[in-house]
């Protein structure tokens, strides 16, 4: 009788442990899938869901609020994309590039649509569309006769021992490291986790920091707003910039590239481009 009771107790204990194990595994499985990491989300899945989610940077070129409407190069392109694919578009403004990469990995967004410089490091982790823009990075500094004084730089060699502010995980960091090797001296960098190009430009203007690096396209838009700032010292050569998707989103990438090839020949695209960048090279 005692032996049978002992076996029964062991069986109940084993059953309880098994139940707990199943609950734990089920929770982890649910968490894994609700994050999106266990689900395929390529073009077919996006179409089936009825919505494509696109993250872009909030600035005076890509996405901004003007009066009671939203404008911006990336924003207007995203709307054309939704029209072409016959799908609802959610455009999510996001300052932090690192956060955009994280959300792309988690599949809570499908495209990072901002002018991303194509680097080898990023290409190893993500896929890029065909180039959308030609751009370069420039130094943001105060003019010699404007406000708080700092060393005015026109030659890249003079960047030695200076500290340049960039947004967190900016692709320009690689270019600054290469530039440091080229001039044979250290160029210090500070990565700002909170702000993008436009906010860093405002900080230079206000004298909070002395130097920042931003896209030339942003600089051109803000030149009249900040007449005391200089944007004419190049940090990089002209580079190709594109949108970014996950490595496994091969069909989405192909669809985007077909669409871009078509749309860049259209009058609609020319109108949008000239609105934000003028009549220069595309």
Phi, psi of 131 (to 5 degrees): -55, 140
Q: How far apart are CA 18 and CA 100, in angstroms?
A: 40
R_g (Cα) of the chain, nearest Å: 25
Q: Does domain 43-134+241-277 have CATH number 3.40.50.1980?
A: no
> 212 forms bridges with which residues in the sheet?
140, 165
Average the pLDDT over 254-272 and give the result.
95
Residue 59 exposure: Cα atoms within 13 Å on the Cβ side: 30
What digits encode the pLDDT tens for the residues 170-220? 888 989 999 999 999 999 999 988 888 889 999 999 999 999 999 998 888
Report pLDDT for 25: 44
Is the fold of 43-134+241-277 the same as that of 137-237? yes
- What residue ranges do the domains of the chain occupy? 43-134+241-277, 137-237
What average pLDDT score do residues 4-17 get?
A: 50
pLDDT band at 24 (very low <50, low <70, confident <90, very high): very low
Q: What would the pLDDT profile of 52-89 be if each residue is shown by its tens digit? A: 999 998 888 999 998 889 999 999 999 999 999 999 99
**Structure-token match 């909030």, residue found:** 58
- Return all residues near 49 (Cβ < 8 A) that are at least 6 apart: none
pTM score: 0.75
**Residues 250, 127 contacting (CB under 8 angstroms):** yes
Q: Is residue 48's pLDDT more than 50?
A: yes
| Class of the CATH domain delimited by 137-237 | alpha beta
CA 172 – CA 52 distance, rounded (Å): 28
Mean pLDDT, the chain, whole residue set:
85
189, 182 contact by CB (below 8 A): no
In the prediction, which pLDDT does 96 show? 83
């Amino acid at each position: 009788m005692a032996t049978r009771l002992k076996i029964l107790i062991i069986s109940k204990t084993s059953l309880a442990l098994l139940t707990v194990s199943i609950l734990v595994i089920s929770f982890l499985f649910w968490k894994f899938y609700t994050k999106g990491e266990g689900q395929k989300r390529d073009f077919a899945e996006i179409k089936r869901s009825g919505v494509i989610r696109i993250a872009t940077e909030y600035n005076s070129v890509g996405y901004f609020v003007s009066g009671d409407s939203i404008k911006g190069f990336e924003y207007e392109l995203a709307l054309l994309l939704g029209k072409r694919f016959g799908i609802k578009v959610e455009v999510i403004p996001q300052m932090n590039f690192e956060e955009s990469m994280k959300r792309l990995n988690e599949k809570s967004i499908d495209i990072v649509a901002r002018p991303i410089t194509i680097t080898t490091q990023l290409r190893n982790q993500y896929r890029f569309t065909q180039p959308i823009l030609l751009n370069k990075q420039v130094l943001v500094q105060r003019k010699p006769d404007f406000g708080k004084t700092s060393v005015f730089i026109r030659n890249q060699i003079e960047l030695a021992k200076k500290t340049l502010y960039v947004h967190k995980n900016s692709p320009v960091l690689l270019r600054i490291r290469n530039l440091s090797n080229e001039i044979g001296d250290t160029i210090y960098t500070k990565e700002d986790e909170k702000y993008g190009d436009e906010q860093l430009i405002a900080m230079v203007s206000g004298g909070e920091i002395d130097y920042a690096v931003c896209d030339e396209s942003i600089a051109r838009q803000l030149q009249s707003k900040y007449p005391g700032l200089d944007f004419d010292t190049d940090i990089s050569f002209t580079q190709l910039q594109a949108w970014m998707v996950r490595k496994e989103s091969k069909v989405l990438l192909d669809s985007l590239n077909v669409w871009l090839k078509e749309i860049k020949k259209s009058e609609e695209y020319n109108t949008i481009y000239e609105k934000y960048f003028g009549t220069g090279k595309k």
